[in-house]
Structure 1
């Protein structure tokens, strides 16, 4: 009989699943998705190949589970950071910074690559958290317009432009530009792009409508 390291079977299963997800993330970071196998994941996690299949039927299911786990944690952390701020322009800066930091360190393939390797049903599951992020950004922009910190504009269009800018900025990452400088520049660029204004001390001010 194998020794149970956790106090209960449920806890043991949770620990094993966590090992598998962490191993998968490590392999995505070091080797990428092409050529990755369930055997690789099992070896890195230190569990039997059969054990991996007990939790995930195939690599696609594992990828979706990992993506949902990572994105869920990111959304929760972002909400916590935003809850401590009232000014919508400051909240926008936190949103942009958090997204870029996540895109810089995340092990997930970008959206188009994910769509190419997942079934439409699996890819749709990822849309839940994407929708949460869109809603967060929409609320920030709408509040900024209502409070006159941002000029009135098409919120849906701005959301698409901002997310497009974030993806482009992350893809331009290189060794010549420190991440902090690139992120700070992107924050200012996006704030200026939506019409935010600042006083001489760099504090957000209301704008003429």
Structure 2
């Protein structure tokens, strides 16, 4: 960032704070959180080291804000997801699973980079998200379909949700962990298998 642009941002506290968060978010994605210093963030943002402390109590608070912003952006990128009663349950669940895989690919590597920075994760847990979590949206969708009678009344919605969340975790972690050999099943196959257990008997 040019010194001129950084100087212009200093005229707006909110703009400068957002710029610092965006810069930290980019550095986490590129280099991970461990070893990321205030000086490195300040240099990348084009500001003096002390400027960060005008907006954040310490580096951990800034990194937590950056990760929160990243997660919210990843949720917004999913767009509008299907609602109960519209389309078919099978098509809708494919859409949810596809969205879940995209979300996890975007956020899990960032969280993995923070495993050695528990203080940042603690701060992150204290920050409310701007977007409803995909897992909650999925569970609410399944509950809505069950109430409409389009899923079996005896279906365990929590278990069905956990299955789809687990697929997302498996696919992303298998890429991050060396030596993993997980084969990615097609969303259609996953959904068909799941519905065999929770669909209404015809």
TM norm. shorter chain > 0.5: yes
TM-score (norm 1): 0.70
Residues 110 and 47 from structure 1, CA distance in 2 versus in 1: closer, same or farther, beyond 3 angstroms? Answer: same
Deviation of residue 161 (structure 1)?
A: 2.6
CA deviation profile, 1:9-57 (whole Å, cap 9, x unmatched): 4xx2222122212211221122111111111111111111111121121
Runs of 4+ more than 6 Å apart: none
Q: Report the count of equivalent residues.
A: 188
- What are structure 2's unaligned runs of at least 5 residues? 177-182
| Number of the residue aligned with 1:202 | none
Q: How does 1:1-209 map to 2 (within 5 A)?
A: 5=8, 9=11, 12-78=12-78, 80-82=80-82, 86-87=86-87, 88-106=89-107, 108-110=110-112, 113=115, 117-118=118-119, 122-125=123-126, 132-151=133-152, 152-173=154-175, 182=184, 185-195=185-195, 207-208=200-201
Q: What value does the CA root-mean-square deviation take over the aligned residues?
A: 3.7
Maintained 8 Å contact 1:138/1:156 = yes
Work out the CA distance in 2 between the residues paired with 1:100 and 1:72: 15
CA distance in structure 2 between the aligned counterparts of 1:31 and 1:120, rounded to whole angstroms: 17
Assess if the C-alpha contact under 8 Å between 2:72 and 2:131 holds in 1: no
Structure 2 vs 1, CA of residues 167 and 24 (structure 1 numbering), >3 Å: closer, same or farther?
A: same
TM-score normalised per structure 2: 0.72
